[in-house]
Chains A and B, each alone.
Chain A
């Protein structure tokens, strides 16, 4: 009986962790290629959440169906942001990139606060209270769908980078920007595309997240930090690492929330981060540079 209990909590932690991992994938893609840390990541994720809330409120769309639309809008935003502002900071010192994106994050966060107010908004889905029984497991239908959605999008992203011509070109940029330029790749265009993809992916993660959590502007800085923790725990620049890190953090949050106290669950993520930074600074699946 107690074992089933733990198993249930572990599995729902893993499912939530998959959505965290998807958000972190977006961050990892941007950092791995453009070498800029997107400090507005959580803000973009919450923007994705509000996108799903609006589409569900006005058109009655399920968050899973809203996700592609949200992704398209955020892709455009990310593309423009890279083209218009971030691109001229690529060669600048880290702290300046950080300040720029901090400014952008502040603008997005407070624009959302002004538009939607500080209260939480949620989406209504017909399967909101359904559960699925799998052997000893009793899982929420929403969590199962969110986790499955995250896996599908992550798989599509891996396939894109592995097999498509554009994906290979982006990886070439990440490995050696100078060499990529020498063989005739349009670096600035690929950077904009990458930033757009990263923003679109985190938008989808946000849309899926509305199945699990109510949207509030205040979530944004938390999600930014969470994505960072995950990427660093998993390994900067490693895509499987980001997904794995997400699952690990989701699992540890769920366990800490259950075993200790819900208010201590984020403390646990920071402890994991500090331990990983000390013992394996390149991350669990990262390569030593």
Chain B
């Protein structure tokens, strides 16, 4: 990254840190949504962007993380900071199981993507029938009236949640950057670009791929824990839906798959755009359900036709934020 890029990134960090001081509740809630999608987008990016494994079922890991931590809290009074380890463990086990089945039996490409969808759908239907998790009627975390901010149990004001998700995004960015420049990261890139060549120079394909799935699913589960305690309600039809899986992958696709900043930029483009559209539809008095999604569809087609590598690589080059083409952050 050039000096200008670093300055801009630092400036963005400062603005985001100070945002709750001058922004109203609505802006903070939109920013929280933006950051949530930036976070899970980064988590998904570890699999698709770094190692070339197309997962279309990331809602599974969000849902497992959300349900595991919420159930521990409601049924046993175990707080989220302990629960998140169980949540990450559950999602990682599920991810490794899918990965093991897929990589062991040579399920590749489209087939692997379908396997991930299939497991997310199985979880959706399964959780609909699991009464311990509330079944299809939903699972609720009691809202603690005016107890004030309680970071230990993750109960409190929207500002508290805002800072938690901001920290998660920053943490995921740092982790991604570190991973990408590690031995493991270079192995992932090699496996993504040329699996056969990578194997020929001694990279253990199975190990490289399964660690990518493990890291990605564990990170995604944290997004689920956040979601459970932020919204306080979970419905299998929403949490595990295929629509949710697609929402998770959009920021990275729009921003730039395989880049560090891409998922964050993509979330900052998509969520405000969606809010703007909702606003415009309300103002114009048009009551057409589906108009917003229709617009998302058009945006997807336009982006993949004209900016197939995403917005970030192009923007970074245009604004002189990186030293050479292809360099990231």
How many interface residues does A have (CB within 8 Å)? 40
Q: In the complex the two chains form, is A107's CB within 8 Å of B298's CB?
A: yes
Q: In the complex the two chains form, is A263's CB within 8 Å of B106's CB?
A: no
Q: In the complex the two chains form, is B118's CB within 8 Å of A94's CB?
A: no
Q: Which residues of the other chain, B, contact A104 by a CB distance below 8 angstroms?
A: 297, 301
Beyond A37-B110, A106-B296, whether A114 also contacts B105 by CB under 8 A is no
Beyond A267-B126, A277-B115, whether A110 also contacts B291 by CB under 8 A is yes
Give the distance in Å from the alpha carbon of A103 to the alpha carbon of B110 in the complex: 17
In whole Å, how far is A288's beta carbon from the nearest beta carbon of chain B?
10
Q: Which residues of the other chain, B, contact A96 by a CB distance below 8 angstroms?
A: 304, 308
Give the distance in Å from the alpha carbon of A246 to the alpha carbon of B133 in the complex: 34
Beyond A114-B288, A114-B291, whether A278 also contacts B305 by CB under 8 A is no
Q: In the complex the two chains form, is A225's CB within 8 Å of B253's CB?
A: no
Q: Which residues of the other chain, B, contact A118 by a CB distance below 8 angstroms?
A: 289
Q: In the complex the two chains form, is B294's CB within 8 Å of A114's CB?
A: yes
Beyond A96-B304, A99-B253, A107-B297, whether A270 also contacts B129 by CB under 8 A is no
Q: In the complex the two chains form, is B297's CB within 8 Å of A110's CB?
A: yes
Beyond A94-B54, A98-B54, whether A113 also contacts B289 by CB under 8 A is yes
Give the distance in Å from the alpha carbon of A277 to the alpha carbon of B107 in the complex: 7
Q: Is A228 interfacial (CB 8 A cutoff)?
A: yes
Q: Is B117 interfacial (CB 8 A cutoff)?
A: yes
Q: In the complex the two chains form, is A103's CB within 8 Å of B300's CB?
A: yes
Give the distance in Å from the alpha carbon of A207 to the alpha carbon of B170 in the complex: 51
Give the distance in Å from the alpha carbon of A152 to the alpha carbon of B279 in the complex: 50
Q: In the complex the two chains form, is B294's CB within 8 Å of A270's CB?
A: no
Q: In the complex the two chains form, is A102's CB within 8 Å of B246's CB?
A: yes
Interface SS of chain A? helix
Beyond A94-B109, A94-B110, A264-B129, whether A99 also contacts B122 by CB under 8 A is no
In whole Å, how far is A67's beta carbon from the nearest beta carbon of chain B?
27
Q: Is B111 interfacial (CB 8 A cutoff)?
A: yes
How many interface residues does B have (CB within 8 Å)? 42
Give the distance in Å from the alpha carbon of A106 to the alpha carbon of B122 in the complex: 23
Q: Which residues of the other chain, B, contact A117 by a CB distance below 8 angstroms?
A: 289
Flag A68-106 by CB within 8 Å of B: 1 or 0 each. 000000000000000001001000101110111011111
Q: Is B242 interfacial (CB 8 A cutoff)?
A: yes
In whole Å, how far is A173's beta carbon from the nearest beta carbon of chain B?
19
Q: Is B293 interfacial (CB 8 A cutoff)?
A: yes
Give the distance in Å from the alpha carbon of A228 to the alpha carbon of B115 in the complex: 11
Beyond A100-B301, A106-B297, A264-B129, whether A114 also contacts B308 by CB under 8 A is no
Q: Is A167 interfacial (CB 8 A cutoff)?
A: no
Q: Which residues of the other chain, B, contact A95 by a CB distance below 8 angstroms?
A: 48, 54, 257
Give the distance in Å from the alpha carbon of A110 to the alpha carbon of B122 in the complex: 25
Give the distance in Å from the alpha carbon of A274 to the alpha carbon of B97 in the complex: 12
Q: Is A213 interfacial (CB 8 A cutoff)?
A: no
Report which of A98, A107, A267, A277 forms a contact with B122, defined as CB distance below 8 A. A267
Q: Is A271 interfacial (CB 8 A cutoff)?
A: yes
Q: Which residues of the other chain, A, contact B128 by a CB distance below 8 angstroms?
A: 263
Q: Is B269 interfacial (CB 8 A cutoff)?
A: no
Q: Is A111 interfacial (CB 8 A cutoff)?
A: yes
Give the distance in Å from the alpha carbon of A104 to the alpha carbon of B128 in the complex: 30
Beyond A107-B294, A114-B294, whether A102 also contacts B111 by CB under 8 A is no
Beyond A94-B54, A263-B128, A264-B129, whether A103 also contacts B291 by CB under 8 A is no
8 cross-chain pairs, A with B, having the tightest CB-CB distances, nearest first: A106-B297, A103-B300, A110-B290, A113-B290, A107-B297, A103-B301, A110-B294, A267-B125
30 sampled A-B residue pairs with Cβ under 8 A: A85-B305, A92-B308, A94-B54, A94-B110, A98-B113, A100-B305, A103-B298, A103-B304, A104-B297, A105-B297, A106-B300, A107-B294, A110-B290, A110-B291, A110-B293, A114-B289, A114-B290, A114-B294, A117-B289, A229-B118, A263-B125, A264-B125, A267-B121, A267-B125, A270-B121, A271-B122, A277-B107, A277-B115, A281-B107, A281-B111
A88-B305, A99-B253, A281-B105 known; 9 other A-B pairs, CB under 8 Å? Answer: A95-B257, A98-B54, A98-B110, A103-B297, A103-B304, A107-B297, A217-B290, A221-B242, A274-B122
